[in-house]
Amino acid sequence: MSEFDFDAIVVGSGITGGWAAKELTEAGLKVLMLERGRMIEHQTGYGNETKAPWEMPFRGVGDADLYAREYQVQVRNRHFNEFTQDHFVNDAVNPYVNAPGTDFTWYRSYQLGGRSLTWGRQSYRWSDYDFGANKRDGQGTDWPIRYADVAPWYDKVEDFIGVSGAAEGLPQLPDGKFQPPMALNVVEQATREKIMARWPERRLTIGRTANLTVAKDEEGRAACQNRSICARGCSYGAYFSTQSSTLPAAQKTGRLTLMTDAVVEKVDYDPRTRRVTGVRWIDTATKTRKAATARMVFLNAGSFNSVHLMLNSASEAMPRGLANSSGVLGTHIMDHASTLSAIALMPGYEGYTTFGNRPTGVVIPRFRNMDALDGKGHSRGFSYQGGALQSGWTRGKREAGIGADYKNGLQAPGPWRMVLVAFADCVPRATNRLTLSRTKADANGLPALEIAFAFGAEEKAALADAKAEAAAMLTHAGGQVIMGLDTPNPGGGAIHEMGGARMGLDPKTSVLDRFSRAHDAGNLFVTDGAQMSSSACQNPSLTYMALTARAAAHAVERLKAGAL
């Protein structure tokens, strides 16, 4: 009998935790996956999925009074509403601390599946413009990997989760193994063509989204029904989530033990062997403490929570936190600087409408600072996401009028408009960091996480550039810009928080090696967003998944070689 309870323990069941569990169990390992939140079963657990607004107490809008008291942060998330509120944390119960001068909106989902239930599903490869960014401008530490290291793992992940998208042959946004793309609507298609005619290097394309356009019957997943209510949970299994995709695969092996309501409070470390030995957790359902041992531990608690756990796992041997001999644990956190760059009226398409709620928008990939440094006060990139839409009944709130004519006027689809939201690269800075609060405890009596974060001149310059270019493109496409912003949303607004346990070549200046493995503990892997050394301007989840699959393969290889 093994001296360990499990071959591997995976902390977290979200986007990367599910991938770690799948890959490790499929490789033959006996795995324990711990999830801090409650159980949500696929299909039967999505209580509000099919409800109409009139079946909800507050018509789907939600109880603003409750939100002001208990969901002050989460309510600022666009996907948070009465249908989805149970898929987000209660902020009053799960406090964190913003350092003086910080307004970081930390959106969280503590439940089986984590934020894989509520994510935006946008799935983009990073390129060598991204993996080479730190080296190129000297900010942050160089990534120890490049695109070629990750490309086969992107292939594997895309193939399994199902990513619909259009190949465009762009070096800054490498093509992947796509399912057929969703369609651009009539206004987006015309705008694409007009932008390309004027700026051949700029490409408006359909969002690459983890929604199936072709069913994966072998996995029990149906094609997307174009409801665009994904964050409620999808009984069709049409978008990638832990529940729809990786968890069934891991469970199919018979080697997965899943525990929910398990808040991990510490990773144990043995200084004699320089290995982690297992984890301890609080069973919040029974209010008891439990522990298990394993040959390796994967941290997939979500970028900030993985770092939080490592800081809380300080020991006599590692007084600054687990695997923190470098002292950089918690530093260089990032989130994309995002803002609403432009809204434009798009006249001339009144004769057209659409049917169906396409669950993705469009993207205009980065075009700045590629082979030439042409940024205006910034050295990295920005890209846009958004789309064209027809106004609906809510436009009546902005219009004067009462009576039958007013009512009849709101019956038809409204004017077309186009929205572009910019996401700019966030420079990794040592001053943007996570620490343990000295004054506030979390729900379980552990020191709460404190976040110090601010965007700098580079991000602001990028968003100013993005605003000007958005206006130029939409105007050229025949639009009338009615507003645009260049100030970044609060940190966390992009919901792409990352960094804090960065990868690097040098153990003195980084936490993880090229296989997402701690320099200081050879059987500890951190494969969620905490490992990121730069932010790129693309959504990062696909890269997290690819790096998780890659790390799992490496871990299995080492285990088989007897190195663990």
Partner 1 sequence: MSSEGGRAWNRREFMGAAALLAMVVGVPAGASIWSKVEDGDAPTDRQRAMIREVAQIVIPKTGTPGAGEVGTGDFVILALAHGLDGTRDPGAAAAIPAGVPAPRRPDGSLRYLDWLEGELDRRAKGNWAGKDAAAKTAALAALDAEAYAGDGRAPHPWKAIKGLILTGYYTSEVGGSQELRYEPVPGRFDPALPNPPGTRAISNDWTAVDFG
Backbone angles phi, psi at 84, to 5 degrees: -110, 0
Please count the CA atoms within 13 angstroms of the CA of 331 that sit on its side-chain side.
14
CA dihedral for 191, 197, 201, 205, sign (positive or negative): positive
Dist CA 324 CA 318 (whole Å) = 7
Q: What CA–CA distance (Å, rounded) separates 525 from 499? A: 14
Q: Residue 419 or 532: which CB sits closer to partner 1?
A: 419
Binding region for partner 1 (CB under 8 A) out of 10-18, 55-63, 165-173, 443-451: 55-63
Tell the burial category of 235 from Cβ atoms under 10 Å away from its Cβ (0-12, 13-18, 19+): middle
Position 44 contacts partner 1 (CB under 8 A)? no
Quick check: 413 binds partner 1 (CB under 8 A)?
yes
Binding mask 187-206 toward partner 1 (x if CB under 8 A, else -) reads --x-----------------
Binding span for partner 1 by CB under 8 A among 131-139, 305-313, 351-359, 485-493:
351-359
Three-state DSSP at 54 gives helix
Distance CA 485, CA 53 (A): 32
Name the residue nearer to partner 1 (CB basis): 64 or 457: 64
For residue 309, the SS3 value is: helix
Report which residue type is found at 167: A
180 binds partner 1 (CB under 8 A): no
**Which residue from 2, 50, 72, 475 is in contact with partner 1, where contact means CB under 8 A?**
50
Of the candidates 350, 374, 506, 557, which one interacts with partner 1 according to CB under 8 A?
350
Contact yes or no for 543/150 (Cβ under 8 A): yes
* Separation in Å, CA 393 to CA 80, 227, 354: 20, 18, 15
Binder among 28, 41, 59, 167 for partner 1 (CB under 8 A): 59
Which of these ranges, 123-131, 168-176, 393-401, 536-544, lies near partner 1 under the rule CB under 8 A?
Answer: 393-401
The two structure tokens encoding residue 408:
């009849």
Among residues 39, 99, 166, 186, the one that binds partner 1 under rule CB under 8 A: 186
CB of 230 vs partner 1, minimal distance in Å: 10
Instruction: Pick between residue 457 and residue 482 the one whose CB is nearest to partner 1.
Output: 482
Q: Indicate whether 53 belongs to the interface with partner 1 (CB under 8 A).
A: yes
Interaction of residue 183 with partner 1, rule CB under 8 A: yes
Binding segment for partner 1 among 144-152, 177-185, 320-328, 439-447 (CB under 8 A)? Answer: 177-185
Rounded to an integer, what is the distance from CA 132 to the centroid of its chain?
Answer: 21
Give the residue, chosen from 371, 402, 439, 445, that forms a contact with partner 1 under the rule CB under 8 A: 402
Q: Based on CB atoms, which residue is closest to partner 1, 285 or 482?
A: 482
At 546, give phi and psi (nearest 5°): -65, -40
- The tokens describing 278, both together, are 């297992």
What's the closest the beta carbon of residue 385 comes to partner 1, in angstroms? 12
Measured over all CA atoms, what is the biggest interatomic distance in the chain, rounded to whole angstroms? 80
When the beta carbons of 180 and 377 are compared against partner 1, the nearer one is: 180
55 vs 193 by CB, closer to partner 1: 55
90 touches partner 1 by CB under 8 A: no
Contacts of 234 (CB under 8 A, 6+ apart): 46, 49, 241, 244
Q: Determine the size of the site formed for partner 1 (CB under 8 A).
A: 65
The first and second tokens of residue 142, run together, are 């160089």
From the list 148-156, 268-276, 294-302, 401-409, the region that binds partner 1 by CB under 8 A is 401-409
3-state secondary structure of 459: helix
480 is an interface residue for partner 1 by CB under 8 A? no
- Residue 210 in the binding site for partner 1 (CB under 8 A): no
Which segment (103-111, 403-411, 423-431, 551-559) binds partner 1 by CB under 8 A?
403-411
Q: How far is the CB of 342 from partner 1 (least distance, A)?
A: 12
- Nearest approach, Cβ of 76 to partner 1 (angstroms)? 13
Q: Among the candidate windows 165-173, 274-282, 382-390, 497-505, which touches partner 1 by CB under 8 A?
A: 382-390
Closest by Cα among 496, 513, 564, 526 to 20: 526
Strands 275-283 and 288-299: what pairing? antiparallel
Of 102, 139, 225, 284, the one binding partner 1 (CB under 8 A) is: 225
CB 108 within 8 A of CB 88: yes
Residue 322 one-letter amino acid: L
Among 2, 28, 41, 61, binds partner 1 (CB under 8 A): 61
Nearer CB in complex with partner 1: 272/398: 398
Would you give the end-to-end CA distance of the chain in angstroms? 17
Cα–Cα distance for residue pair 156/233, rounded to 1 Å: 24
545 interacts with partner 1 by CB under 8 A: no
C-beta of residue 550 within 8 angstroms of C-beta of residue 153: yes
Does 57 engage in binding with partner 1 (CB under 8 A)? yes
Q: Shortest gap between Cβ of 389 and partner 1 (angstroms)?
A: 5
Which residue in 44, 286, 288, 394 binds partner 1 (CB under 8 A)?
A: 394
Q: Which stretch binds partner 1 (CB under 8 A): 349-357, 440-448, 449-457, 484-492?
A: 349-357
Select from 70, 22, 526, 475 the least CA-distant residue to 267.
526
Kindly give the residue spans of alpha helices, DSSP state H, lying in 382-516.
Answer: 404-409, 457-476
Closest distance between partner 1 and the C-beta of residue 410, in Å? 8
DSSP letter, residue 557:
H
| Footprint of partner 1 (CB under 8 A) | 50, 52-55, 57-66, 68, 78, 182-186, 189, 225-229, 343, 350-358, 387, 389-404, 406-408, 410-414, 417, 419
